[in-house]
Amino acid sequence: MNIKNRKFKFLPHTADRKFQAFGKTLEKVFENSALALFNIIYDEKISENKKFKISVKGKDLENLMYNFLEEFLVLIDSKNFLPSKITNLKFDQKNLKIKAEVIGDDAENYNISEHVKAVTYNEMFIKKIKNNWTSQVVLDV
């Protein structure tokens, strides 16, 4: 896959999991960050049998990213729901809010590859580099 179309990449980290996600827009970098998180948790195709609506706010972009990714961990842990994809993502940059629909299936139907305990602020950033957005996130596993 050519670098311009890459959604995310994993980086070496001593104890946790670290990734960078990419996108032409803030919406895409948030969506691709979630896809990287999903890729760490499981590595099989998830059926699209259930749907949840999510809504998160943040104080700044990093806090919004933290809250956005944490919302998926809450769905997994409290609703036993594995997300497959994100649809209808609406990003309100002025008010730092994201609303989206998350489609997936019951977690009991799948094998979890790696349990993510938490999203961290360690080494986190979201910035525009040239004409593309890049996020970096470290997950506590």
Query: What pLDDT, on the 0 to 100 scale, is given for residue 93?
Result: 92
What is the predicted pLDDT for the residue at 24? 96
How much is the average pLDDT of 55-59? 98
The model's pTM: 0.91
Residue 74 has pLDDT above 90, yes or no: yes
Sign of CA pseudo-dihedral 48, 88, 85, 77? negative
**Region 117-135: what's the mean pLDDT?**
95
- CA gap 126, 55 in Å, rounded: 20
* Measured distance CA(104)–CA(61) in Å, rounded: 26
Q: How far apart are CA 86 and CA 140, in angstroms?
A: 23
What's the mean per-residue pLDDT of the chain? 93
Could you say which architecture CATH assigns to the domain 6-140?
A: 3-Layer(bab) Sandwich (3.55)
Domain spans in the chain, listed from the N-terminal domain onward: 6-140
Residue 137 has pLDDT above 70, yes or no: yes
pLDDT band with cut points at 50, 70 and 90 for residue 2: very low
How far, in Å, CA of 60 to CA of 98, rounded?
Answer: 12
